[in-house]
Chain A
Amino acid sequence: KAGVTQTPRYLIKTRGQQVTLSCSPISGHRSVSWYQQTPGQGLQFLFEYFSETQRNKGNFPGRFSGRQFSNSRSEMNVSTLELGDSALYLCASSGTSGANVLTFGAGSRLTVL
Protein backbone atom coordinates (compact mmCIF):
# COMPACT_ATOMS: atom_id res chain seq x y z
CA LYS A 1 0.00 0.00 0.00
CA ALA A 2 1.18 3.52 -0.70
CA GLY A 3 3.19 5.26 1.99
CA VAL A 4 2.91 8.78 3.32
CA THR A 5 3.24 11.28 0.49
CA GLN A 6 4.48 14.80 1.02
CA THR A 7 4.47 17.57 -1.54
CA PRO A 8 6.40 19.51 -2.58
CA ARG A 9 9.67 17.76 -1.78
CA TYR A 10 11.76 20.90 -2.14
CA LEU A 11 10.90 24.55 -2.18
CA ILE A 12 12.61 27.88 -1.88
CA LYS A 13 10.87 30.94 -0.51
CA THR A 14 11.92 34.41 0.56
CA ARG A 15 11.41 36.06 3.93
CA GLY A 16 7.89 37.33 4.47
CA GLN A 17 6.26 34.89 2.08
CA GLN A 18 4.00 32.08 3.14
CA VAL A 19 4.11 28.40 2.29
CA THR A 20 1.68 25.50 2.29
CA LEU A 21 2.85 21.91 2.57
CA SER A 22 0.70 18.92 1.87
CA CYS A 23 0.60 15.42 3.33
CA SER A 24 -1.39 12.40 2.24
CA PRO A 25 -1.36 9.72 4.93
CA ILE A 26 -1.48 5.99 4.49
CA SER A 27 -4.96 4.92 3.45
CA GLY A 28 -7.05 4.31 6.54
CA HIS A 29 -4.80 6.29 8.87
CA ARG A 30 -6.71 9.03 10.64
CA SER A 31 -3.91 10.64 12.63
CA VAL A 32 -1.44 12.99 10.95
CA SER A 33 1.42 14.62 12.81
CA TRP A 34 3.89 17.24 11.65
CA TYR A 35 7.48 17.66 12.80
CA GLN A 36 10.16 20.21 12.03
CA GLN A 37 13.76 19.05 11.78
CA THR A 38 16.68 21.46 11.90
CA PRO A 39 20.38 20.90 12.63
CA GLY A 40 20.19 23.14 15.69
CA GLN A 41 16.92 22.09 17.31
CA GLY A 42 16.58 18.55 16.02
CA LEU A 43 13.15 17.03 15.60
CA GLN A 44 10.37 19.08 17.11
CA PHE A 45 6.68 18.34 17.22
CA LEU A 46 4.46 20.88 15.51
CA PHE A 47 0.93 19.49 15.77
CA GLU A 48 -1.25 16.44 15.38
CA TYR A 49 -4.61 16.10 13.72
CA PHE A 50 -7.08 13.29 14.23
CA SER A 51 -10.41 13.13 12.43
CA GLU A 52 -10.08 16.77 11.32
CA THR A 53 -9.44 18.02 14.87
CA GLN A 54 -6.18 19.33 16.21
CA ARG A 55 -5.42 17.13 19.18
CA ASN A 56 -1.93 18.20 20.18
CA LYS A 57 0.13 21.28 19.52
CA GLY A 58 3.82 21.96 20.00
CA ASN A 59 5.53 25.15 21.08
CA PHE A 60 5.57 27.02 17.82
CA PRO A 61 4.32 30.53 17.11
CA GLY A 62 0.93 31.15 15.58
CA ARG A 63 2.55 31.59 12.16
CA PHE A 64 2.51 27.82 12.00
CA SER A 65 -0.92 26.36 11.39
CA GLY A 66 -2.44 23.26 9.96
CA ARG A 67 -5.63 21.53 9.09
CA GLN A 68 -6.93 18.13 8.16
CA PHE A 69 -9.57 17.31 5.61
CA SER A 70 -12.30 14.69 5.73
CA ASN A 71 -10.15 12.31 3.66
CA SER A 72 -7.41 12.63 6.33
CA ARG A 73 -5.09 14.58 4.04
CA SER A 74 -3.42 17.37 5.92
CA GLU A 75 -1.81 20.69 5.12
CA MET A 76 0.40 22.90 7.16
CA ASN A 77 0.94 26.56 6.51
CA VAL A 78 3.70 28.88 7.62
CA SER A 79 3.05 32.58 7.17
CA THR A 80 5.51 35.46 7.22
CA LEU A 81 8.47 33.19 6.71
CA GLU A 82 11.69 33.80 8.62
CA LEU A 83 15.18 32.54 7.84
CA GLY A 84 14.93 30.23 10.84
CA ASP A 85 11.99 28.42 9.30
CA SER A 86 14.37 26.73 6.88
CA ALA A 87 14.02 23.08 7.78
CA LEU A 88 12.91 19.63 6.77
CA TYR A 89 9.21 19.34 7.53
CA LEU A 90 8.13 15.80 8.16
CA CYS A 91 4.63 14.45 8.14
CA ALA A 92 3.73 11.16 9.78
CA SER A 93 0.56 9.15 9.95
CA SER A 94 -0.69 6.58 12.39
CA GLY A 95 -3.52 4.13 12.37
CA THR A 96 -4.47 4.42 16.01
CA SER A 97 -4.16 7.24 18.44
CA GLY A 98 -2.62 5.32 21.31
CA ALA A 99 0.01 3.14 19.67
CA ASN A 100 2.30 6.06 18.82
CA VAL A 101 4.03 4.21 15.99
CA LEU A 102 4.46 6.67 13.17
CA THR A 103 5.02 6.17 9.47
CA PHE A 104 6.85 9.14 8.06
CA GLY A 105 6.88 10.70 4.65
CA ALA A 106 10.11 11.69 2.91
CA GLY A 107 9.69 15.30 4.00
CA SER A 108 9.46 18.71 2.43
CA ARG A 109 12.69 20.66 2.54
CA LEU A 110 12.02 24.36 2.84
CA THR A 111 14.73 26.92 2.27
CA VAL A 112 13.99 30.53 3.19
CA LEU A 113 16.24 33.15 1.62
Chain B
Amino acid sequence: SQQGEEDPQALSIQEGENATMNCSYKTSINNLQWYRQNSGRGLVHLILIRSNEREKHSGRLRVTLDTSKKSSSLLITASRAADTASYFCATGPGGGNKLTFGTGTQLKVEL
Protein backbone atom coordinates (compact mmCIF):
# COMPACT_ATOMS: atom_id res chain seq x y z
CA SER B 1 0.00 0.00 0.00
CA GLN B 2 1.12 3.56 -0.60
CA GLN B 3 2.12 5.45 2.49
CA GLY B 4 2.58 8.74 0.73
CA GLU B 5 0.00 10.78 -1.03
CA GLU B 6 1.18 13.45 -3.37
CA ASP B 7 -0.57 16.44 -4.76
CA PRO B 8 -1.25 17.58 -7.23
CA GLN B 9 -1.49 14.38 -9.25
CA ALA B 10 -0.66 16.38 -12.34
CA LEU B 11 0.84 19.81 -12.87
CA SER B 12 1.34 21.73 -16.10
CA ILE B 13 3.40 24.90 -16.15
CA GLN B 14 5.34 27.10 -18.54
CA GLU B 15 9.09 27.00 -18.81
CA GLY B 16 10.67 29.39 -16.37
CA GLU B 17 7.91 29.07 -13.78
CA ASN B 18 8.33 27.36 -10.43
CA ALA B 19 6.76 23.99 -9.70
CA THR B 20 5.72 22.91 -6.24
CA MET B 21 4.57 19.44 -5.34
CA ASN B 22 3.58 18.11 -1.95
CA CYS B 23 3.84 14.79 -0.20
CA SER B 24 2.14 13.53 2.93
CA TYR B 25 3.02 10.38 4.78
CA LYS B 26 1.56 8.42 7.65
CA THR B 27 4.17 6.93 9.94
CA SER B 28 7.37 8.08 11.63
CA ILE B 29 10.28 8.34 9.27
CA ASN B 30 14.05 8.32 9.36
CA ASN B 31 14.36 10.33 6.19
CA LEU B 32 12.40 11.36 3.13
CA GLN B 33 13.63 11.29 -0.42
CA TRP B 34 12.47 12.61 -3.75
CA TYR B 35 12.94 10.72 -7.00
CA ARG B 36 12.22 11.60 -10.61
CA GLN B 37 11.03 9.18 -13.27
CA ASN B 38 11.00 9.89 -16.95
CA SER B 39 8.28 8.08 -18.83
CA GLY B 40 8.54 4.32 -18.32
CA ARG B 41 12.12 4.46 -17.13
CA GLY B 42 13.91 3.89 -13.84
CA LEU B 43 13.84 6.37 -11.01
CA VAL B 44 16.59 8.87 -10.37
CA HIS B 45 17.37 10.05 -6.85
CA LEU B 46 17.11 13.81 -6.45
CA ILE B 47 17.50 14.69 -2.80
CA LEU B 48 17.29 13.25 0.70
CA ILE B 49 16.22 15.14 3.80
CA ARG B 50 16.63 13.65 7.25
CA SER B 51 13.94 13.77 9.89
CA ASN B 52 15.89 16.33 11.93
CA GLU B 53 16.24 18.71 8.97
CA ARG B 54 13.62 21.24 7.96
CA GLU B 55 14.92 22.46 4.62
CA LYS B 56 17.47 21.39 2.07
CA HIS B 57 18.67 22.79 -1.23
CA SER B 58 20.30 21.20 -4.25
CA GLY B 59 20.72 23.33 -7.35
CA ARG B 60 17.23 24.38 -8.47
CA LEU B 61 15.60 22.04 -5.96
CA ARG B 62 14.35 23.03 -2.53
CA VAL B 63 12.83 20.48 -0.20
CA THR B 64 11.08 21.16 3.08
CA LEU B 65 10.02 18.70 5.72
CA ASP B 66 7.47 19.19 8.47
CA THR B 67 7.47 16.11 10.66
CA SER B 68 4.69 17.49 12.87
CA LYS B 69 2.38 17.57 9.85
CA LYS B 70 3.99 14.51 8.25
CA SER B 71 4.45 16.41 5.02
CA SER B 72 7.15 17.50 2.60
CA SER B 73 7.28 19.75 -0.42
CA LEU B 74 9.54 19.84 -3.44
CA LEU B 75 10.06 23.13 -5.23
CA ILE B 76 11.70 23.24 -8.63
CA THR B 77 12.65 26.78 -9.56
CA ALA B 78 12.98 28.16 -13.07
CA SER B 79 11.64 24.96 -14.60
CA ARG B 80 12.81 23.64 -17.94
CA ALA B 81 11.20 21.37 -20.51
CA ALA B 82 13.70 18.70 -19.43
CA ASP B 83 12.09 18.69 -15.97
CA THR B 84 9.01 17.05 -17.48
CA ALA B 85 8.71 13.79 -15.54
CA SER B 86 6.92 12.14 -12.64
CA TYR B 87 8.15 12.99 -9.17
CA PHE B 88 7.83 10.66 -6.21
CA CYS B 89 8.50 11.05 -2.54
CA ALA B 90 9.76 8.02 -0.68
CA THR B 91 10.08 7.33 3.00
CA GLY B 92 12.24 4.85 4.81
CA PRO B 93 12.17 3.84 8.43
CA GLY B 94 15.87 3.07 8.36
CA GLY B 95 17.64 -0.25 8.71
CA GLY B 96 17.38 -1.46 5.18
CA ASN B 97 16.32 -0.20 1.81
CA LYS B 98 12.61 -0.83 1.97
CA LEU B 99 11.17 2.45 0.73
CA THR B 100 7.53 3.37 0.60
CA PHE B 101 6.74 5.56 -2.39
CA GLY B 102 4.05 8.15 -2.81
CA THR B 103 1.58 8.18 -5.64
CA GLY B 104 3.60 10.66 -7.65
CA THR B 105 3.07 14.01 -9.35
CA GLN B 106 3.22 14.19 -13.14
CA LEU B 107 4.90 17.44 -14.08
CA LYS B 108 4.72 18.82 -17.60
CA VAL B 109 6.78 21.85 -18.45
CA GLU B 110 5.75 23.47 -21.70
CA LEU B 111 7.86 25.71 -23.88
Interface residues of A (CB under 8 A from B): 4, 31, 33, 35, 41-45, 48, 50, 55-56, 58-59, 88, 90, 92, 94, 97-98, 100-107, 109
B97 touches A104 (CB 8 A): no
For B48, list chain A residues within 8 Å (CB). 100-101
Interface string of B29-46 (1 = CB under 8 A from A): 011010100001111110
User: How many B residues face the partner with a CB closer than 8 A?
Assistant: 26
For B68, list chain A residues within 8 Å (CB). none
Known contacts A100-B30, A100-B92, A101-B33: A45-B45 contact under CB 8 Å: no
For A105, list chain B residues within 8 Å (CB). 42
The 6 closest A-B pairs by CB, nearest first: A104-B42, A43-B101, A100-B92, A56-B98, A104-B43, A106-B42
Q: How far is the CA of A42 from the CA of B43 in the complex (A)?
A: 13
17 contacts between A and B (CB under 8 A): A31-B96, A43-B88, A45-B98, A48-B97, A59-B1, A90-B43, A97-B95, A97-B96, A100-B48, A100-B99, A101-B48, A102-B43, A103-B45, A104-B35, A104-B43, A106-B41, A109-B40
| Nearest Cβ on chain A to B32's Cβ, whole angstroms | 10
B73 interface residue (CB < 8 Å to A): no
Interface string of B15-54 (1 = CB under 8 A from A): 0000000000000001101010000111111001000000
